[in-house]
Amino acid sequence: MLTFIGLGLYDEKDITVKGLEAIRNSDVAYVEFYTSHLFGTSIGSMEKLYGKKLTVLSREDVEQDPAWLLRAKDENVVFLTGGDAMVATTHIDLRLRARDSGIECAIIHAPSISSAASGLSGLQNYRFGKSTTIPFPYKRKEKTIISEAPYDTIKMNRKNDLHTLVFLDIDREKGFMDVRNAASLLLEMEERRGEGILVNALAVGIARAGSVTPEVHSDYLGKLKDHDFGGPLHILIIPASLHFIEAEALVKLCGAPAEILK
């Protein structure tokens, strides 16, 4: 039996009671932190609360050579991830691999940034379109490559009058992308494309969702890149047109310019 368990957004206490019971009743517990990360806790704190030793898996262990998966044929195995258990595509792939191997699976859900971002910003959750990720720039033959895929997703969503949730890259060597970096990259994409999608675009930055003191701030993209959001994890929202309640929420809850109420 393989049970996928979401850990929530920030620390070891975000887990559901059902998830906690499943870990304690398992034979072996695995966890990965490359798709997300719980900055309010540590492996030691998690093991103390969960009452189980945790084996940390790398990206390669999950995506390329998940030999550990076969233990679930004869043992009760749990696989832990930050946020919700099934938001990342790689976890769905793992579930499919398990099914192909004749392994029974279960899912225990948990708080997700997808719903938390809507709640913290005051933007209506049913108005979000396709999400996207801004990756770190990389070098190719001495040339710096910046993926413009996020720009295309935002463009498509705005055409359909939908908000865009923008995930920020997590890299083993480069660390955790922040809102400032993300905003600067989007503005650089706009300068290259010149389509006016992000000219005077409003944006919302969120840091440390799930913590006692999350940082949530809204402003025009050019100004948002100068705001100090503090430590990770960060995420960005590019809204489409605003319902009057959404506009009021951005001003009163997120510090957006009052002029957007006009």
At 82 the pLDDT is: 94
CATH numbers and ranges of domains, the chain: 2-111 (3.40.1010.10), 114-261 (3.30.950.10)
Tokens matching residue 243: 């319902």
Coil, strand, or helix at residue 205?
Answer: strand
Does residue 101 carry a pLDDT above 90? yes
SS3 30: strand
Q: What is the mean pLDDT of the chain?
A: 95
Q: What is the mean pLDDT of residues 185-198?
A: 94
Measured distance CA(67)–CA(214) in Å, rounded? 38
Output the CA–CA distances (angstroms, integers) from residue 74 to 27, 51, 98, 102, 150, in the order listed: 10, 21, 13, 11, 43
Q: In angstroms, how far is the first alpha carbon of the chain from the final one?
A: 56
Whole-model pTM: value is 0.92
Structure tokens at 183: 């905003």
The answer to whether 188 and 195 have CB atoms below 8 angstroms apart is no
Q: What pLDDT score was predicted for residue 244?
A: 96
Q: What is the pLDDT of residues 9-67, one digit of tens each?
A: 999 999 999 999 999 999 999 999 988 899 999 999 999 999 999 999 998 999 988 99
Binned at pLDDT 50, 70 and 90, residue 89 comes out as: confident
pLDDT score of 115 more than 90:
yes
